[in-house]
Amino acid sequence: SDDVEVIVADSMGELLKLYSASDVAFVGGSLVPVGGHNVLEACAVGLPVIFGPHMFNFDEISKLTLSRYAGMQVDSETDLAAAVASYLGDANLRFETGEKGKKLVQQNRGALERTSELIFSLAEASCIETRSHGKKL
């Protein structure tokens, strides 16, 4: 409804649908030392993402998000309110930040497949070396 300003999601599988109907995403668990959640889902649908300083369980992803200007880190509830207001008050900023997030996700698709291929090739090389008694074939 048009009256809804904030939705708190607490079960698996509902975020993608909610993100697609949103203007901005705040990643919970990140303002307190609980640890934030994955920002990539919000980035994938083109949302500017906001998170707090406690992103230790998604440290690299959150740093990459900041370095690509696909989101914003805040330190307090006051900063969070200001960041949300900034994005909601500036459609161009919201769109540009969201597009940067989508680009970040697109550029990093296939990371699991590339990593798996590397692991399998290293394992295969190790097996060949072991079978030849330490001599590479």
What pLDDT shows up at residue 86? 98
Q: Is the dihedral of CA 54, 59, 64, 65 positive or negative?
A: negative
Domains of the chain: 15-109 (3.40.50.2000)
Which positions of the chain have pLDDT values less than 50? 137
Which phi and psi (to 5°) does residue 91 adopt?
-60, -35
**Buried-exposed string 86-101: b where 16+ CB fall within 10 A, e elsewhere:** bbeeeeeebeebbebb
CA distance 82 to 64: 22
Name the residue among 108, 107, 100 with its Cα closest to residue 43.
100
Residue 15: per-residue pLDDT: 84
The per-residue pLDDT for 68 is: 97
| Dihedral, CA of residue 67, residue 69, residue 71 and residue 76, to nearest 10 | 70
Per-residue pLDDT reduced to its tens digit, 98-123: 999 999 999 988 876 777 787 888 77
Sign of the Cα torsion 126, 113, 96, 93 reads negative
What confidence score (pLDDT) does residue 81 get? 97
Count Cβ neighbours within 10 Å for each residue of 105-129 and write b for 16 or more, e otherwise. Answer: beeeeeeeeeeeeeeeeeeeeeeee
Question: What is the reported pLDDT for 134?
Answer: 55
List % helix, strand, coil for the chain (3-state, nearest 5): 55, 5, 40
